[in-house]
Every structure is written in structure tokens, then in C-alpha cells.
């Protein structure tokens, strides 16, 4: 149909042109007709939907790759292979910067391989590629495949702000807790003071003061009439004679507060004896014994304990089963129930040590150690050993080139077992000092709290200080 229409149109067009050509002026050539397809010449006869204009893409219609550099790096030539490191620690933190102040963002294990991309100026921290970002690890725990010098130096990120403190108040926690009772000399004033240096007050007079386990009472000895072992409340009230005796000393509370062990002069040769033989005369000096005894606080019931003839400075084990003391032959054990203790030819039986220079034992609150004094040639030092007598460790030492070696005496454990209080004459006069339980950080316990007090140690194994919670 369309083809017939097209042919008919062409025939009519030719005929029209022929008729028209007859009217042209003679001598003028007729223009050659241009054949235009009917559909093209009459486009309006067939409506056409105009295409929607395509938006242009900037900067050009042809897609181009991103403009950021892709083939060259100012610090890493394209020919340089990455430096690989291998972790040599069992656990290695990955941080946001070169230092332990920076936050931890992850961790590595022994043998992990990492790509090292930089180092800090000191060369002790390495920047690595880690989980799609940069991290830092300590260089000391990384084995590099290449020399450290080939690793480029990079800028470190700014350090993080200081971690805020979570202390509820600006008041610092006191270094020491609890309270102490101490004497200024044998038979002199006894004082109480808080471990932070506050609350100094006179309590009474006597010797060898010691706190009860609950910290509410103090036991002590007195050698003025009426003589014996006393107890007194911490506020100075209710001073009571518990056991009357002319010469008793070194009271020590049982862990449950029900009994007090002490030593008293009892037996032996009490007086000097004059001797004569064929015109020769001499004096046998007195040789009294000092024996351990146990008194029940509730009803003052008294019991002798099995011990050597000269027994001093008793101290209870924290479980209350045994008592260590200073004997004729070292440090020995006895028991409140009489199952162990006594005198034996075998001096090692029930012995913590068989060195007669060991004195003044003090059991630690956790029951694992015993502090004691040792006669170091010409002066006293403080040692510590395990509760079974093993592993003796010296805690105090004289200063090199000192004019004389100082004395360090009367060790007393803190309630938490972290410190030991003691007296020393290292500065020319006696003073109260403290040290860590391992002997470190020896220093005066108070700066000025005890100013004005004078102390004297008599070298008779007296207890100068006791520390309670």
C-alpha cells in the first residue's frame, strides 16, 4: 500500500514539473529536481516523539578515572616492596599512636605478620596497616624482614588528652591506714596515733604495748606497783590489772582476743651466790629464767607453756594454733594447748631457726612470713623469712661509709601486711620509720607528728610499736 502511494506521488510530481516547465523562459535551464521521500517531506503527517535531552556529565561526556594520584607516591617508590614484620610477643597491643598513652584498638599474637609502613622519630614504634587503617606497635616486639633504616619516618598523631580521674573527691587516699600504739622508752609514756599522722594522744605508761585484734584495747606491762600485765581501752578508760607479777613483759593477744601470752621472770637462780674453795672466793651471778605463760582474759585463768628457760617476744600465728618466740637457741615454736614445745637436746625440734642472734619475731597478718631482728656483728638489723623458717631475707642495711652502722629494731606489720614499721637510730637519734614489706622505700613514718617526743631503745628485745586496723 505504501509502495503504491509512493509511486503515484512520484508520477504526479513528474507530471506537475512537466507542466510547469512549459512556462519557463526559453534559454533558461530548469533546475534538476531533488527527490525527497514523502515521509521525510511530510514529517508532520507522521508524529514523532522527540527524545528527552540527555544531561551532560561534567567535565566531559566520556567517563574519566578519578583525578587523585594513583601511580606515584612521594615516599614509597613503586619499585619498593613492602616491609613485613613478624610479631615476637605472645600478645601485642595495637594503638592509635606511638606510645602507651594512646588508646588500644586491637591486638596481635605471636607469629602474626604485619605490613610496616612507617616509624616514629625515635624508631621505637612502628606504624602498620591494620584492619583497613593505620595502627602503631612497639618495635621491640617485631622482627622486620628488612633494615629499620629503610622504614620511612612518619608524623605521629597528636597525643590523646589525659584520662580523666575517677576519684570521687580530690582528697588523696592516705598511704597508711589504721592506728599505732608506741612507747617512748621502757616504763615511759605510751601514745596512740592514727596511721595518717593525726590524733596523737597519751594513753598511759608502761612497756611493750600491743593492740587487741579488734583495735579497741591495748595490753601492756608495768614495772611499777602494782606490777604485772594490764589492759586498757583505746580511749584511756578501764585500765585493769590482768595478771600481777613483779617482772612480766611482752604481752601478745591471741587472734580471737580471748588470751594473752607473755613472758615472766620465774625460776632459775634468782640471786648472786658467793663461793669459796681453799681460800679462793668468787661470785656466781644470778641466772633467772624467763618462762612463757598464758592468761585467759575473761576470767584470768593462767597456764604455763612448754618452752626453753629463756623465752622472750612471743607472737601468735594468725590461726592461733602456735606461738613463735625467741629462745636460748634461736626462734622456736610452742602451742597454747601444750601439744608442742619444750626443751630438747635436738635444738632443731620445733625450731624456725637455730641461730641465737635471731630475736623479736613478728608474724605477718597473712601467716606466710615472720619478721625478726638479727644481731649483725655490732648492731641490729631486720630480716624476714617464710613461716617455715626458709628464705631468710635482709631488709635493712647500713649506709656505705657511714661513721657507724645504725640499729634497726622492733618490727611491726601493718594490718594489710604491705608495710613494716620499725625504730632506727640512723639519723643520730631514735625515730619511728616505715618500709615496704620487701624492704624498699624506707623513710620516716611521720614528717612532724612526733616532733617533741624523745625515744630510747634499751636492747632488751622490747616491743616499741604495734599497728592495728
E strand or H helix that includes residue 4? helix 2-21
The Cα 196–Cα 199 span in angstroms is 9
Q: How do the domains of the chain map onto residue ranges?
A: 83-150, 179-468
pLDDT at position 39 is 38
The Cα 396–Cα 424 span in angstroms is 10
| Residue 307 burial (C-beta neighbours within 10 Å; 0-12, 13-18, 19+) | buried
β-pairing verdict for 351-353 and 330-334: antiparallel
Q: Does domain 83-150 have CATH number 1.10.150.20?
A: no
Torsional sign, CA 202, 205, 209, 213: negative
Q: Return phi, psi of residue 4, to 5°.
A: -65, -45
CB 323 within 8 A of CB 305: yes
CB 321 within 8 A of CB 293: no
Torsional sign, CA 178, 184, 186, 190: negative
Q: Is 333 helix (H, G, I), strand (E, B) or coil?
A: strand
β-pairing verdict for 113-119 and 142-144: unpaired
Whether omega before 404 lies within 30 degrees of 0, making that bond cis, reads no
CB 85 within 8 A of CB 145: yes
* Helix %, strand %, coil % of the chain (to 5): 5, 40, 55
CB 234 within 8 A of CB 192: yes
pLDDT at position 89 is 84
pTM passes above 0.85? no
Q: Print pLDDT tens along the chain (469 aa).
A: 455 555 566 656 655 554 444 443 434 444 444 444 433 333 334 444 444 444 444 444 455 555 544 445 445 444 456 788 999 887 889 999 999 889 998 989 888 999 999 999 999 999 999 988 899 999 999 999 889 888 999 988 888 887 666 666 555 667 899 999 999 999 999 999 999 999 999 999 999 999 999 999 999 999 999 999 999 999 999 999 999 999 999 999 999 999 999 999 999 888 888 888 888 888 888 889 999 999 999 999 999 999 999 999 999 999 999 999 999 999 999 999 999 998 888 999 999 999 999 999 999 999 999 999 999 989 999 999 999 999 999 999 988 777 889 999 999 999 999 999 999 999 999 999 999 999 999 999 999 999 999 999 999 999 999 999 9
Pick the CATH number of 179-468 from 2.60.40.10, 3.40.50.300, 3.40.50.720, 2.120.10.30: 2.120.10.30
DSSP string, 196-248: TS---EEEEE-EEEEE-TTSSEEEEEE-SSSPEEEEEETTS---EEEEE-SSE
The Cα 438–Cα 100 span in angstroms is 28
E strand or H helix that includes residue 264? strand 259-269
Amino acid at each position: 500500500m505504501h509502495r503504491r502511494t509512493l509511486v503515484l506521488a512520484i508520477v504526479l510530481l513528474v507530471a506537475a514539473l512537466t507542466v510547469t516547465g512549459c512556462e519557463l523562459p526559453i534559454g533558461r535551464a530548469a533546475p534538476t529536481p531533488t527527490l525527497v521521500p514523502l515521509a521525510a517531506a511530510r514529517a508532520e503527517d507522521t508524529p514523532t516523539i522527540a527524545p528527552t535531552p540527555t544531561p551532560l556529565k561534567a567535565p566531559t561526556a566520556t567517563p574519566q578515572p578519578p583525578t587523585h594520584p594513583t601511580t606515584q607516591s612521594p615516599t614509597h617508590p613503586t619499585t619498593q616492596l613492602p616491609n613485613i614484620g613478624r610479631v615476637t610477643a605472645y600478645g601485642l597491643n595495637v594503638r592509635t599512636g606511638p606510645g602507651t598513652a594512646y588508646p588500644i584498638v586491637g591486638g596481635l599474637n605471636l607469629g602474626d605478620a604485619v605490613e610496616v609502613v612507617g616509624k616514629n622519630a625515635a624508631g621505637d614504634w612502628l606504624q602498620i596497616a591494620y584492619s583497613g587503617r593505620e595502627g602503631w606497635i612497639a618495635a621491640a616486639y617485631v622482627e622486620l624482614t628488612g633494615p629499620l633504616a629503610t622504614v620511612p619516618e612518619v608524623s605521629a598523631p597528636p597525643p590523646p588528652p589525659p584520662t580523666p580521674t575517677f576519684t570521687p573527691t580530690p582528697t588523696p587516699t592516705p598511704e597508711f591506714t589504721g592506728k599505732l600504739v608506741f612507747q617512748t622508752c621502757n616504763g615511759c609514756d605510751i601514745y596512740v596515733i592514727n596511721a595518717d599522722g593525726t590524733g596523737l594522744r597519751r594513753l598511759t605508761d608502761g612497756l611493750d604495748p600491743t593492740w587487741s585484734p579488734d583495735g579497741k584495747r591495748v595490753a601492756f606491762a608495768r614495772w611499777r606497783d602494782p606490777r604485772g600485765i594490764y589492759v586498757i581501752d583505746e580511749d584511756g578508760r578501764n585500765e585493769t590489772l590482768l595478771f600481777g607479777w613483779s617482772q612480766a613483759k611482752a604481752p601478745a593477744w591471741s587472734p580471737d582476743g580471748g588470751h594473752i601470752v607473755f613472758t615472766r621472770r620465774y625460776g632459775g637462780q634468782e640471786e648472786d651466790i658467793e663461793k669459796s674453795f681453799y681460800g679462793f672466793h668468787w661470785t656466781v651471778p644470778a641466772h633467772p629464767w624467763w618462762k612463757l605463760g598464758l592468761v585467759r582474759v575473761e576470767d584470768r585463768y593462767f597456764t604455763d607453756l612448754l618452752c626453753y628457760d629463756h623465752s622472750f617476744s612471743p607472737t601468735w600465728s594468725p590461726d592461733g594454733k602456735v606461738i613463735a618466740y625467741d629462745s636460748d637457741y634461736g626462734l622456736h615454736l610452742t602451742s597454747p594447748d601444750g601439744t608442742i614445745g619444750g626443751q630438747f637436746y635436738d635444738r632443731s625440734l620445733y625450731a624456725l631457726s637455730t641461730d641465737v642472734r635471731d630475736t623479736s619475731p613478728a608474724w605477718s597478718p597473712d601467716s606466710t612470713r615472720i619478721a625478726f631482728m638479727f644481731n649483725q656483728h655490732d648492731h641490729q638489723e631486720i630480716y624476714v623469712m617464710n613461716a617455715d623458717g626458709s628464705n631468710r631475707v635482709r631488709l635493712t642495711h647500713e649506709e656505705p661509709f657511714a661513721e657507724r652502722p645504725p640499729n634497726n629494731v622492733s618490727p611491726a606489720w601493718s594490718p594489710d601486711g604491705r608495710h613494716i614499721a620499725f625504730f632506727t637510730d640512723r639519723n643520730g637519734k631514735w625515730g619511728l620509720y616505715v618500709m615496704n614489706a620487701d624492704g624498699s622505700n624506707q623513710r620516716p613514718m611521720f614528717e612532724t607528728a612526733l616532733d617533741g617526743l624523745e625515744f630510747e631503745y634499751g636492747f632488751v628485745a622490747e616491743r616499741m610499736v604495734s599497728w592495728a586496723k
